[in-house]
Chains A and B, each alone.
Chain A
Amino acid sequence: MKKEILKILEKDSRLTDAQIAAMLGLTEEEVAQTIRECEKDGTILGRLTLVDWDKTGEEFVTALIEVKVTPQRGDGFDRIAERIYQYEEVESLYLMSGAYDLTVIISGRTLKEVSTFVSSRLSTIDGVVGTATHFILKKYKDKNIAFETQPEQQERMMFC
Protein backbone atom coordinates (compact mmCIF):
# COMPACT_ATOMS: atom_id res chain seq x y z
CA MET A 1 0.00 0.00 0.00
CA LYS A 2 2.81 2.37 0.95
CA LYS A 3 4.63 1.65 -2.28
CA GLU A 4 1.48 2.32 -4.33
CA ILE A 5 0.84 5.61 -2.60
CA LEU A 6 4.44 6.71 -3.06
CA LYS A 7 4.41 5.78 -6.73
CA ILE A 8 1.30 7.85 -7.31
CA LEU A 9 2.62 10.84 -5.37
CA GLU A 10 5.97 10.68 -7.13
CA LYS A 11 4.13 11.26 -10.39
CA ASP A 12 1.71 13.91 -9.17
CA SER A 13 2.12 15.39 -5.72
CA ARG A 14 -0.99 17.52 -6.01
CA LEU A 15 -3.43 14.63 -5.75
CA THR A 16 -5.53 14.81 -2.64
CA ASP A 17 -5.74 12.04 -0.07
CA ALA A 18 -9.31 11.42 -1.18
CA GLN A 19 -8.28 10.98 -4.81
CA ILE A 20 -5.46 8.60 -3.93
CA ALA A 21 -7.81 6.68 -1.66
CA ALA A 22 -10.29 6.29 -4.52
CA MET A 23 -7.58 5.15 -6.91
CA LEU A 24 -6.32 2.46 -4.60
CA GLY A 25 -9.55 1.42 -2.95
CA LEU A 26 -8.42 2.64 0.49
CA THR A 27 -9.98 4.97 3.01
CA GLU A 28 -8.90 8.56 3.10
CA GLU A 29 -7.66 8.10 6.64
CA GLU A 30 -5.42 5.18 5.64
CA VAL A 31 -3.84 7.29 2.93
CA ALA A 32 -3.41 10.32 5.18
CA GLN A 33 -1.90 8.14 7.91
CA THR A 34 0.59 6.50 5.54
CA ILE A 35 1.65 9.83 4.10
CA ARG A 36 2.10 11.31 7.57
CA GLU A 37 4.30 8.37 8.55
CA CYS A 38 6.36 8.68 5.39
CA GLU A 39 6.87 12.37 5.98
CA LYS A 40 7.86 11.72 9.56
CA ASP A 41 10.40 9.01 8.84
CA GLY A 42 11.86 10.92 5.91
CA THR A 43 10.60 8.58 3.16
CA ILE A 44 8.88 11.60 1.66
CA LEU A 45 11.49 14.33 1.63
CA GLY A 46 9.64 17.04 -0.17
CA ARG A 47 7.08 17.83 -2.85
CA LEU A 48 8.37 19.83 -5.74
CA THR A 49 7.25 21.30 -9.02
CA LEU A 50 9.11 20.71 -12.24
CA VAL A 51 9.58 24.04 -14.01
CA ASP A 52 10.82 24.72 -17.48
CA TRP A 53 12.58 28.00 -16.74
CA ASP A 54 13.38 28.54 -20.40
CA LYS A 55 9.70 29.29 -20.90
CA THR A 56 9.91 32.17 -18.46
CA GLY A 57 12.75 33.94 -20.25
CA GLU A 58 14.95 33.72 -17.14
CA GLU A 59 18.61 33.11 -17.91
CA PHE A 60 19.53 30.23 -15.67
CA VAL A 61 22.31 27.77 -16.30
CA THR A 62 22.63 24.26 -15.03
CA ALA A 63 26.06 22.76 -14.57
CA LEU A 64 27.18 19.23 -13.89
CA ILE A 65 30.54 19.09 -12.17
CA GLU A 66 32.64 15.97 -11.95
CA VAL A 67 34.73 16.00 -8.81
CA LYS A 68 37.72 13.83 -7.94
CA VAL A 69 38.50 13.63 -4.26
CA THR A 70 40.84 11.84 -1.89
CA PRO A 71 38.71 9.80 0.47
CA GLN A 72 39.47 10.40 4.11
CA ARG A 73 40.40 7.75 6.56
CA GLY A 74 37.47 6.75 8.70
CA ASP A 75 34.88 8.84 6.87
CA GLY A 76 35.35 7.65 3.30
CA PHE A 77 33.57 10.15 1.07
CA ASP A 78 30.84 11.18 3.46
CA ARG A 79 32.63 13.94 5.22
CA ILE A 80 33.76 15.66 2.08
CA ALA A 81 30.36 15.18 0.49
CA GLU A 82 28.80 16.88 3.45
CA ARG A 83 31.13 19.84 3.06
CA ILE A 84 30.01 20.17 -0.52
CA TYR A 85 26.27 19.68 -0.25
CA GLN A 86 25.91 22.19 2.52
CA TYR A 87 26.47 24.90 -0.04
CA GLU A 88 23.11 26.32 -0.86
CA GLU A 89 23.81 26.42 -4.60
CA VAL A 90 24.30 22.64 -4.80
CA GLU A 91 21.10 21.14 -6.15
CA SER A 92 22.19 17.48 -6.25
CA LEU A 93 25.18 15.52 -5.15
CA TYR A 94 25.86 11.89 -5.99
CA LEU A 95 28.69 9.49 -5.20
CA MET A 96 29.71 7.75 -8.39
CA SER A 97 31.47 4.62 -9.47
CA GLY A 98 33.95 4.97 -12.30
CA ALA A 99 36.36 7.62 -13.45
CA TYR A 100 35.49 10.27 -10.88
CA ASP A 101 33.93 10.31 -7.44
CA LEU A 102 31.23 12.90 -7.02
CA THR A 103 28.69 14.51 -9.33
CA VAL A 104 27.61 17.98 -8.29
CA ILE A 105 24.66 19.60 -10.01
CA ILE A 106 24.11 23.29 -9.75
CA SER A 107 21.19 25.05 -11.33
CA GLY A 108 19.27 28.25 -11.35
CA ARG A 109 22.43 30.35 -11.35
CA THR A 110 24.26 32.61 -13.72
CA LEU A 111 27.38 31.50 -15.52
CA LYS A 112 29.45 33.70 -13.28
CA GLU A 113 28.00 32.29 -10.10
CA VAL A 114 28.81 28.78 -11.25
CA SER A 115 32.40 29.62 -12.13
CA THR A 116 32.91 31.42 -8.84
CA PHE A 117 31.52 28.46 -6.97
CA VAL A 118 33.84 26.03 -8.70
CA SER A 119 36.99 28.08 -8.51
CA SER A 120 36.73 29.61 -5.10
CA ARG A 121 34.65 27.16 -3.14
CA LEU A 122 34.62 23.66 -4.57
CA SER A 123 38.24 23.40 -5.71
CA THR A 124 39.58 24.79 -2.50
CA ILE A 125 38.00 22.17 -0.28
CA ASP A 126 40.57 19.91 1.32
CA GLY A 127 40.62 16.58 -0.45
CA VAL A 128 39.24 17.83 -3.77
CA VAL A 129 41.92 16.99 -6.29
CA GLY A 130 40.21 17.89 -9.55
CA THR A 131 37.00 19.17 -11.13
CA ALA A 132 35.50 19.17 -14.61
CA THR A 133 32.54 21.45 -15.20
CA HIS A 134 29.98 20.69 -17.91
CA PHE A 135 27.23 23.11 -18.74
CA ILE A 136 23.90 21.69 -19.69
CA LEU A 137 22.86 23.14 -23.02
CA LYS A 138 19.34 21.89 -23.25
CA LYS A 139 17.02 19.83 -21.11
CA TYR A 140 15.01 17.26 -22.99
CA LYS A 141 13.57 15.28 -20.15
CA ASP A 142 13.65 15.38 -16.39
CA LYS A 143 11.88 13.21 -13.82
CA ASN A 144 10.19 11.29 -16.58
CA ILE A 145 8.71 14.39 -18.14
CA ALA A 146 9.72 15.53 -21.60
CA PHE A 147 10.24 19.28 -21.84
CA GLU A 148 8.95 19.65 -25.33
CA THR A 149 5.84 17.65 -25.85
CA GLN A 150 4.83 16.68 -29.31
CA PRO A 151 2.04 18.75 -30.79
CA GLU A 152 -1.36 17.16 -30.49
CA GLN A 153 -2.35 15.14 -33.45
CA GLN A 154 -4.50 17.27 -35.70
CA GLU A 155 -7.27 14.94 -36.53
CA ARG A 156 -8.35 12.33 -34.12
CA MET A 157 -10.92 9.69 -34.79
CA MET A 158 -13.68 10.03 -32.34
CA PHE A 159 -15.35 6.69 -32.16
CA CYS A 160 -14.36 3.16 -31.36
Chain B
Amino acid sequence: MSGIGELLSDKVVSLAPSGIRKFFDILNDMTDAISLGVGEPDFVTPWHIRDAGVYSLEKGFTKYTSNAGCLSLRRAISAYLERRFALRYDPESEIVVTVGGSEAIDLALRVLLDPGDEVIIPMPSFVCYEPLTRVAGGVPVLVETKEENEFRLTPEELEAALTPRTKALVLPYPCNPTGAIMRREDLEALAKVLRGRNIAIISDEIYSELTYGTKHVSPANIPELFDRTIVINGFSKTYAMTGWRLGYVCGPADVIKQMLKLHQFAIMCAPTTAQYAAIEALDSGDIDVARMREDYDRRRRLLLQGVRDAGLECFEPRGAFYMFPCIKSTGLTSDEFCERFLLEEKVAVISGSAFGAAGEGFVRMCYAASTEDLTEALVRLGRFLERLSKDGK
Protein backbone atom coordinates (compact mmCIF):
# COMPACT_ATOMS: atom_id res chain seq x y z
CA MET B 1 0.00 0.00 0.00
CA SER B 2 1.16 3.43 -0.86
CA GLY B 3 -0.35 6.74 -1.75
CA ILE B 4 -1.07 10.00 -0.12
CA GLY B 5 -3.38 8.35 2.43
CA GLU B 6 -0.26 6.85 4.02
CA LEU B 7 1.14 10.28 4.62
CA LEU B 8 -1.64 11.63 6.80
CA SER B 9 -0.89 12.94 10.25
CA ASP B 10 -1.67 10.49 13.06
CA LYS B 11 -2.85 13.37 15.16
CA VAL B 12 -5.58 14.14 12.67
CA VAL B 13 -6.49 10.64 11.55
CA SER B 14 -6.94 9.51 15.14
CA LEU B 15 -9.54 12.20 15.83
CA ALA B 16 -13.06 10.79 15.99
CA PRO B 17 -15.48 12.46 13.56
CA SER B 18 -18.37 14.45 15.00
CA GLY B 19 -21.15 12.13 16.15
CA ILE B 20 -23.85 14.64 15.39
CA ARG B 21 -24.06 13.79 11.74
CA LYS B 22 -24.85 10.14 12.29
CA PHE B 23 -28.49 9.99 11.21
CA PHE B 24 -28.74 12.92 8.89
CA ASP B 25 -28.30 10.88 5.78
CA ILE B 26 -31.37 8.89 6.76
CA LEU B 27 -33.22 12.12 7.51
CA ASN B 28 -32.48 13.59 4.11
CA ASP B 29 -34.34 10.77 2.37
CA MET B 30 -37.41 11.00 4.57
CA THR B 31 -40.55 12.89 3.75
CA ASP B 32 -42.57 14.39 6.56
CA ALA B 33 -39.59 14.32 8.88
CA ILE B 34 -39.10 16.96 11.55
CA SER B 35 -35.61 17.98 12.54
CA LEU B 36 -34.93 19.28 16.01
CA GLY B 37 -31.34 18.40 15.32
CA VAL B 38 -29.88 21.42 13.61
CA GLY B 39 -28.20 23.85 15.97
CA GLU B 40 -28.98 26.91 13.96
CA PRO B 41 -31.58 29.68 14.04
CA ASP B 42 -34.57 29.00 11.80
CA PHE B 43 -34.76 32.72 11.02
CA VAL B 44 -33.25 34.27 7.94
CA THR B 45 -30.78 37.08 8.63
CA PRO B 46 -32.88 40.26 9.08
CA TRP B 47 -33.23 42.07 5.79
CA HIS B 48 -31.55 45.33 6.78
CA ILE B 49 -28.44 43.33 7.65
CA ARG B 50 -28.49 41.38 4.39
CA ASP B 51 -29.09 44.63 2.57
CA ALA B 52 -26.03 46.21 4.15
CA GLY B 53 -23.98 43.29 2.81
CA VAL B 54 -25.47 43.71 -0.66
CA TYR B 55 -24.88 47.45 -0.54
CA SER B 56 -21.23 46.96 0.33
CA LEU B 57 -20.91 44.78 -2.78
CA GLU B 58 -22.60 47.42 -4.92
CA LYS B 59 -20.14 49.96 -3.62
CA GLY B 60 -17.33 47.67 -4.62
CA PHE B 61 -16.01 46.82 -1.15
CA THR B 62 -14.50 43.57 -2.32
CA LYS B 63 -10.91 43.81 -1.13
CA TYR B 64 -9.25 42.51 2.01
CA THR B 65 -9.91 44.45 5.16
CA SER B 66 -7.19 44.97 7.72
CA ASN B 67 -6.10 41.65 9.21
CA ALA B 68 -7.87 42.20 12.49
CA GLY B 69 -11.06 43.16 10.66
CA CYS B 70 -12.21 46.59 9.61
CA LEU B 71 -11.67 49.12 12.30
CA SER B 72 -15.22 50.44 12.09
CA LEU B 73 -16.47 46.92 12.83
CA ARG B 74 -14.05 46.50 15.73
CA ARG B 75 -15.24 49.84 17.10
CA ALA B 76 -18.84 48.70 16.74
CA ILE B 77 -18.01 45.43 18.55
CA SER B 78 -16.30 47.34 21.32
CA ALA B 79 -19.29 49.67 21.74
CA TYR B 80 -21.70 46.75 21.64
CA LEU B 81 -19.86 44.71 24.29
CA GLU B 82 -19.77 47.70 26.58
CA ARG B 83 -23.43 48.55 25.98
CA ARG B 84 -24.75 45.00 26.39
CA PHE B 85 -22.35 43.31 28.77
CA ALA B 86 -20.29 46.05 30.40
CA LEU B 87 -17.11 44.63 28.84
CA ARG B 88 -14.41 47.05 27.72
CA TYR B 89 -12.03 46.16 24.93
CA ASP B 90 -9.82 48.44 22.90
CA PRO B 91 -10.79 48.13 19.22
CA GLU B 92 -7.21 48.80 18.14
CA SER B 93 -5.41 46.14 20.14
CA GLU B 94 -7.83 43.82 21.92
CA ILE B 95 -10.24 42.59 19.23
CA VAL B 96 -9.79 40.33 16.19
CA VAL B 97 -12.63 39.59 13.78
CA THR B 98 -12.57 35.89 12.89
CA VAL B 99 -14.23 33.40 10.57
CA GLY B 100 -16.95 32.42 13.01
CA GLY B 101 -16.50 31.68 16.68
CA SER B 102 -14.91 28.38 15.67
CA GLU B 103 -11.79 29.98 14.25
CA ALA B 104 -11.47 32.02 17.42
CA ILE B 105 -11.61 28.86 19.54
CA ASP B 106 -8.94 27.28 17.39
CA LEU B 107 -6.73 30.38 17.59
CA ALA B 108 -7.09 30.67 21.35
CA LEU B 109 -6.01 27.06 21.86
CA ARG B 110 -3.11 27.33 19.44
CA VAL B 111 -1.64 30.45 20.98
CA LEU B 112 -1.82 29.02 24.48
CA LEU B 113 -0.77 25.41 24.15
CA ASP B 114 2.59 23.72 24.14
CA PRO B 115 2.79 19.93 23.90
CA GLY B 116 1.40 18.32 27.02
CA ASP B 117 -0.43 21.38 28.30
CA GLU B 118 -3.79 20.51 29.77
CA VAL B 119 -7.08 22.12 28.92
CA ILE B 120 -10.05 21.62 31.19
CA ILE B 121 -13.25 21.16 29.21
CA PRO B 122 -16.64 20.85 30.90
CA MET B 123 -18.75 18.14 29.29
CA PRO B 124 -21.18 17.67 27.69
CA SER B 125 -20.29 20.57 25.45
CA PHE B 126 -19.85 21.52 21.84
CA VAL B 127 -17.88 18.99 19.85
CA CYS B 128 -14.91 21.11 18.79
CA TYR B 129 -13.01 21.82 22.01
CA GLU B 130 -11.51 18.39 22.48
CA PRO B 131 -10.24 17.76 18.92
CA LEU B 132 -8.94 21.32 18.54
CA THR B 133 -7.08 20.96 21.81
CA ARG B 134 -5.44 17.78 20.54
CA VAL B 135 -4.51 19.34 17.20
CA ALA B 136 -2.90 22.22 19.07
CA GLY B 137 -0.78 19.68 20.94
CA GLY B 138 -2.67 19.94 24.21
CA VAL B 139 -4.24 17.32 26.41
CA PRO B 140 -7.97 17.62 26.97
CA VAL B 141 -9.09 17.07 30.56
CA LEU B 142 -12.78 16.34 30.35
CA VAL B 143 -14.91 17.23 33.36
CA GLU B 144 -18.37 15.74 33.56
CA THR B 145 -20.89 18.30 34.71
CA LYS B 146 -24.03 16.97 36.37
CA GLU B 147 -27.68 17.37 35.72
CA GLU B 148 -28.34 17.96 39.42
CA ASN B 149 -26.12 21.04 39.13
CA GLU B 150 -27.99 22.06 35.99
CA PHE B 151 -24.81 21.22 34.09
CA ARG B 152 -22.87 24.12 35.59
CA LEU B 153 -19.20 23.64 36.31
CA THR B 154 -18.83 23.57 40.09
CA PRO B 155 -15.74 24.79 41.99
CA GLU B 156 -15.24 21.25 43.34
CA GLU B 157 -15.20 19.77 39.86
CA LEU B 158 -12.76 22.42 38.70
CA GLU B 159 -10.51 21.93 41.72
CA ALA B 160 -10.36 18.19 41.12
CA ALA B 161 -9.33 18.66 37.48
CA LEU B 162 -6.49 21.10 38.10
CA THR B 163 -2.91 19.88 37.79
CA PRO B 164 0.41 21.69 37.50
CA ARG B 165 0.07 21.25 33.72
CA THR B 166 -3.30 23.02 33.48
CA LYS B 167 -2.96 25.83 30.99
CA ALA B 168 -6.49 26.75 30.13
CA LEU B 169 -10.11 26.32 31.12
CA VAL B 170 -12.86 26.36 28.52
CA LEU B 171 -16.13 27.89 29.69
CA PRO B 172 -18.77 27.14 27.07
CA TYR B 173 -21.74 28.99 28.53
CA PRO B 174 -24.58 29.41 27.65
CA CYS B 175 -24.00 25.81 26.75
CA ASN B 176 -24.64 23.79 23.64
CA PRO B 177 -26.07 21.09 24.11
CA THR B 178 -27.41 21.48 27.64
CA GLY B 179 -28.78 25.03 27.65
CA ALA B 180 -26.94 25.58 30.95
CA ILE B 181 -25.72 29.00 31.99
CA MET B 182 -23.28 30.22 34.63
CA ARG B 183 -24.54 32.87 37.03
CA ARG B 184 -22.31 35.53 38.51
CA GLU B 185 -21.99 33.62 41.77
CA ASP B 186 -21.02 30.45 39.93
CA LEU B 187 -18.22 32.30 38.15
CA GLU B 188 -17.08 33.95 41.38
CA ALA B 189 -16.82 30.51 42.96
CA LEU B 190 -14.59 29.38 40.09
CA ALA B 191 -12.50 32.55 40.46
CA LYS B 192 -11.79 31.58 44.05
CA VAL B 193 -10.45 28.20 42.95
CA LEU B 194 -8.28 29.81 40.31
CA ARG B 195 -6.86 32.39 42.70
CA GLY B 196 -3.07 32.18 42.86
CA ARG B 197 -2.83 30.07 39.71
CA ASN B 198 -2.00 31.29 36.25
CA ILE B 199 -4.64 29.71 34.05
CA ALA B 200 -6.31 31.19 31.00
CA ILE B 201 -10.06 31.08 30.49
CA ILE B 202 -11.42 30.57 27.01
CA SER B 203 -14.99 31.76 27.28
CA ASP B 204 -17.16 30.76 24.35
CA GLU B 205 -20.07 33.17 24.58
CA ILE B 206 -21.64 32.65 21.17
CA TYR B 207 -25.08 32.31 22.80
CA SER B 208 -24.65 35.29 25.13
CA GLU B 209 -27.71 37.08 23.75
CA LEU B 210 -29.89 34.02 24.15
CA THR B 211 -30.58 33.78 27.85
CA TYR B 212 -34.05 33.67 29.32
CA GLY B 213 -35.17 35.44 32.44
CA THR B 214 -31.57 36.29 33.28
CA LYS B 215 -28.79 38.28 31.70
CA HIS B 216 -25.57 36.70 30.51
CA VAL B 217 -22.53 37.21 32.73
CA SER B 218 -19.08 36.71 31.25
CA PRO B 219 -16.12 35.51 33.30
CA ALA B 220 -14.54 38.74 32.05
CA ASN B 221 -17.14 40.54 34.16
CA ILE B 222 -15.49 39.12 37.28
CA PRO B 223 -12.72 41.65 38.00
CA GLU B 224 -10.08 39.11 39.05
CA LEU B 225 -10.75 37.01 35.92
CA PHE B 226 -10.79 39.83 33.37
CA ASP B 227 -7.06 39.80 32.66
CA ARG B 228 -6.91 36.08 32.02
CA THR B 229 -10.10 35.68 29.99
CA ILE B 230 -10.36 35.35 26.24
CA VAL B 231 -13.92 36.19 25.21
CA ILE B 232 -15.23 34.55 22.04
CA ASN B 233 -18.42 35.67 20.42
CA GLY B 234 -19.94 36.05 16.98
CA PHE B 235 -22.88 36.89 14.81
CA SER B 236 -24.17 33.44 13.87
CA LYS B 237 -26.61 32.70 16.65
CA THR B 238 -27.38 36.24 17.77
CA TYR B 239 -28.36 37.66 14.41
CA ALA B 240 -29.20 34.43 12.57
CA MET B 241 -26.05 34.85 10.46
CA THR B 242 -24.60 31.34 10.53
CA GLY B 243 -23.72 31.23 6.84
CA TRP B 244 -21.87 34.56 6.92
CA ARG B 245 -19.13 32.97 9.03
CA LEU B 246 -18.26 35.85 11.27
CA GLY B 247 -17.10 35.90 14.85
CA TYR B 248 -14.68 37.76 17.02
CA VAL B 249 -12.35 37.33 19.92
CA CYS B 250 -11.41 39.83 22.62
CA GLY B 251 -8.78 39.65 25.29
CA PRO B 252 -5.59 41.06 26.71
CA ALA B 253 -3.48 42.74 24.01
CA ASP B 254 -0.52 40.35 24.29
CA VAL B 255 -2.74 37.33 23.63
CA ILE B 256 -4.67 39.05 20.86
CA LYS B 257 -1.40 40.01 19.18
CA GLN B 258 -0.36 36.37 18.89
CA MET B 259 -3.80 35.32 17.71
CA LEU B 260 -3.72 38.02 15.06
CA LYS B 261 -0.40 36.66 13.85
CA LEU B 262 -1.84 33.17 13.26
CA HIS B 263 -5.06 34.57 11.85
CA GLN B 264 -3.05 36.64 9.42
CA PHE B 265 -1.11 33.64 8.14
CA ALA B 266 -4.02 31.22 7.87
CA ILE B 267 -6.99 33.43 7.06
CA MET B 268 -5.73 36.92 6.09
CA CYS B 269 -8.99 38.53 7.15
CA ALA B 270 -12.63 37.62 7.69
CA PRO B 271 -14.92 37.99 4.65
CA THR B 272 -15.38 41.66 3.79
CA THR B 273 -19.05 41.50 2.84
CA ALA B 274 -19.90 39.80 6.09
CA GLN B 275 -18.03 42.47 8.01
CA TYR B 276 -20.11 45.26 6.49
CA ALA B 277 -23.30 43.38 7.24
CA ALA B 278 -22.09 42.89 10.80
CA ILE B 279 -21.62 46.61 11.35
CA GLU B 280 -25.27 47.10 10.46
CA ALA B 281 -26.23 44.25 12.79
CA LEU B 282 -24.44 45.85 15.73
CA ASP B 283 -25.68 49.35 14.95
CA SER B 284 -29.35 48.57 14.47
CA GLY B 285 -29.94 44.93 15.28
CA ASP B 286 -30.88 45.09 18.95
CA ILE B 287 -34.55 45.05 18.09
CA ASP B 288 -34.16 41.92 15.93
CA VAL B 289 -32.30 40.17 18.69
CA ALA B 290 -35.02 41.06 21.18
CA ARG B 291 -37.70 39.76 18.82
CA MET B 292 -35.90 36.47 18.16
CA ARG B 293 -35.10 35.97 21.83
CA GLU B 294 -38.75 36.47 22.73
CA ASP B 295 -39.72 33.94 20.11
CA TYR B 296 -37.18 31.36 21.26
CA ASP B 297 -38.31 31.86 24.83
CA ARG B 298 -41.90 31.00 23.94
CA ARG B 299 -40.84 27.91 22.05
CA ARG B 300 -38.54 26.95 24.92
CA ARG B 301 -41.42 27.02 27.37
CA LEU B 302 -43.69 25.20 24.94
CA LEU B 303 -41.17 22.43 24.34
CA LEU B 304 -40.17 22.13 27.99
CA GLN B 305 -43.74 21.70 29.15
CA GLY B 306 -44.45 19.31 26.29
CA VAL B 307 -41.40 17.18 27.00
CA ARG B 308 -42.24 17.00 30.69
CA ASP B 309 -45.90 16.25 29.99
CA ALA B 310 -44.80 13.45 27.70
CA GLY B 311 -43.02 11.94 30.68
CA LEU B 312 -39.36 12.87 30.30
CA GLU B 313 -37.38 14.55 33.03
CA CYS B 314 -35.76 17.76 31.94
CA PHE B 315 -34.08 20.57 33.81
CA GLU B 316 -35.10 24.02 32.69
CA PRO B 317 -32.50 25.34 30.25
CA ARG B 318 -31.89 29.07 30.57
CA GLY B 319 -29.66 29.73 27.60
CA ALA B 320 -28.95 28.97 23.94
CA PHE B 321 -31.77 27.19 22.09
CA TYR B 322 -31.36 23.64 23.29
CA MET B 323 -33.11 21.38 25.69
CA PHE B 324 -31.40 18.34 27.16
CA PRO B 325 -34.03 15.93 28.46
CA CYS B 326 -33.01 12.76 30.27
CA ILE B 327 -34.14 9.60 28.48
CA LYS B 328 -32.82 7.04 30.98
CA SER B 329 -36.37 6.16 32.01
CA THR B 330 -36.93 4.61 28.57
CA GLY B 331 -34.24 2.01 29.16
CA LEU B 332 -32.66 2.92 25.83
CA THR B 333 -29.23 4.34 25.24
CA SER B 334 -29.12 7.83 23.73
CA ASP B 335 -28.10 6.42 20.38
CA GLU B 336 -30.88 3.83 20.40
CA PHE B 337 -33.41 6.46 21.39
CA CYS B 338 -32.39 8.77 18.58
CA GLU B 339 -32.31 6.07 15.97
CA ARG B 340 -35.69 4.61 16.89
CA PHE B 341 -37.32 8.02 17.32
CA LEU B 342 -36.13 8.94 13.86
CA LEU B 343 -37.06 5.68 12.16
CA GLU B 344 -40.38 5.18 13.92
CA GLU B 345 -41.64 8.73 14.29
CA LYS B 346 -39.47 10.66 11.84
CA VAL B 347 -38.20 13.16 14.36
CA ALA B 348 -34.49 13.90 14.51
CA VAL B 349 -32.88 14.79 17.80
CA ILE B 350 -29.21 14.46 18.66
CA SER B 351 -27.82 11.81 20.93
CA GLY B 352 -26.33 13.31 24.08
CA SER B 353 -23.35 11.01 23.73
CA ALA B 354 -22.31 12.96 20.62
CA PHE B 355 -21.24 15.63 23.11
CA GLY B 356 -19.10 13.33 25.18
CA ALA B 357 -19.68 10.38 27.46
CA ALA B 358 -21.23 12.74 30.00
CA GLY B 359 -24.13 13.22 27.61
CA GLU B 360 -25.13 9.55 27.66
CA GLY B 361 -28.69 9.19 28.89
CA PHE B 362 -29.74 12.49 27.38
CA VAL B 363 -30.75 13.83 23.99
CA ARG B 364 -30.42 17.31 22.58
CA MET B 365 -33.50 18.97 21.15
CA CYS B 366 -33.15 22.29 19.40
CA TYR B 367 -36.16 24.57 19.70
CA ALA B 368 -35.08 26.94 16.95
CA ALA B 369 -37.90 25.39 14.94
CA SER B 370 -41.41 26.53 14.06
CA THR B 371 -44.22 26.21 16.58
CA GLU B 372 -45.99 23.82 14.20
CA ASP B 373 -42.94 21.56 14.04
CA LEU B 374 -42.46 21.64 17.79
CA THR B 375 -46.12 20.85 18.38
CA GLU B 376 -46.07 17.96 15.95
CA ALA B 377 -42.76 16.68 17.34
CA LEU B 378 -44.31 16.62 20.80
CA VAL B 379 -47.30 14.63 19.57
CA ARG B 380 -44.91 12.12 18.06
CA LEU B 381 -42.76 12.07 21.19
CA GLY B 382 -45.81 11.27 23.31
CA ARG B 383 -46.78 8.45 20.98
CA PHE B 384 -43.22 7.10 20.89
CA LEU B 385 -42.81 7.08 24.67
CA GLU B 386 -46.17 5.43 25.15
CA ARG B 387 -45.24 2.67 22.76
CA LEU B 388 -41.89 2.20 24.48
CA SER B 389 -43.49 1.82 27.88
CA LYS B 390 -46.05 -0.66 26.50
CA ASP B 391 -43.33 -2.69 24.85
CA GLY B 392 -41.45 -2.70 28.11
CA LYS B 393 -44.30 -4.33 29.99
Task: Give A residues with C-beta under 8 Å from B.
Answer: 8, 12, 15, 19, 22-25, 150, 156-160
Contacts and interface: CB of A to CB of B under 8 A. Distances in A.
Q: Main SS of the interface on chain B?
A: helix
A23 B375 contact: no
17 contacts: A19-B302, A19-B371, A19-B375, A22-B304, A22-B305, A23-B298, A24-B298, A156-B38, A157-B40, A158-B20, A158-B27, A158-B35, A159-B38, A160-B38, A160-B40, A160-B126, A160-B242
Nearest to B366: A160
| B interface residue count range (under 10 / 10 to 19 / 20 to 34 / 35 or more) | 20 to 34
A159 B375 contact: no
Given A12-B371, A159-B18, A160-B242, A23 B37 contact: no
A22 to B, nearest CB: 4
B346 interface: no
B269 to A, nearest CB: 23
Nearest to A158: B24
B299 interface: yes
Interface in B304-319: 304-306
A23 B20 contact: no
Interface string B110-137: 0000000000000000110000000000
A159 B20 contact: yes
A64 B178 CA distance: 52
Which of B20, B301, B350 has most A Cβ within 10 Å?
A: B301
A159 B21 contact: yes
A42 B126 CA distance: 49
A159 B371 contact: no
A22 B375 CA distance: 12
A23 B378 CA distance: 14
Contacts of A15: 371
Contact of A158 (B21, B126, B304): B21
Interface of B: 18, 20-21, 24, 27, 35, 37-40, 44, 126-127, 176, 242, 298-299, 301-302, 304-306, 350, 371, 375
Nearest to A160: B39
A19 B306 CA distance: 9
Which of B242, B298, B304 has most A Cβ within 10 Å?
A: B298
Contacts of A22: 301-302, 304-306
B241 to A, nearest CB: 13
B301 A158 contact: no
Contacts of B306: 22
A24 B306 CA distance: 13
Contacts of B302: 19, 22-23
B314 to A, nearest CB: 13
Nearest to A19: B302
A159 B298 contact: no
A158 B299 contact: no
Given A15-B371, A19-B371, A22-B306, A158 B298 contact: no
A156 B40 CA distance: 10
A158 B371 contact: no
A8 B18 CA distance: 37
A158 B27 CA distance: 10
A154 to B, nearest CB: 11
B80 to A, nearest CB: 23
A23 B301 contact: yes
Nearest to B298: A23
Contacts of A24: 298, 301
Contacts of A8: 298
A47 B127 CA distance: 45
Nearest to A15: B371
B355 to A, nearest CB: 11
A24 B294 CA distance: 10
A24 to B, nearest CB: 7
B301 A25 contact: yes
A159 B127 contact: yes
A23 B212 CA distance: 12
- The 3 A-B residue pairs with the shortest CB-CB distance in the complex, in nearest-first order: A159-B20, A23-B298, A22-B305
Nearest to B23: A158
B38 A23 contact: no
A150 B45 CA distance: 13
A19 B378 CA distance: 11
Given A19-B375, A23-B302, A158 B37 contact: yes
Contacts of A156: 38, 40
Nearest to B213: A25
Nearest to A150: B44
Contacts of A157: 38, 40
Contacts of A159: 18, 20-21, 38-39, 127, 350
B12 to A, nearest CB: 18
Contacts of A19: 302, 371, 375
A160 B18 CA distance: 10
A48 B40 CA distance: 31
A3 to B, nearest CB: 12
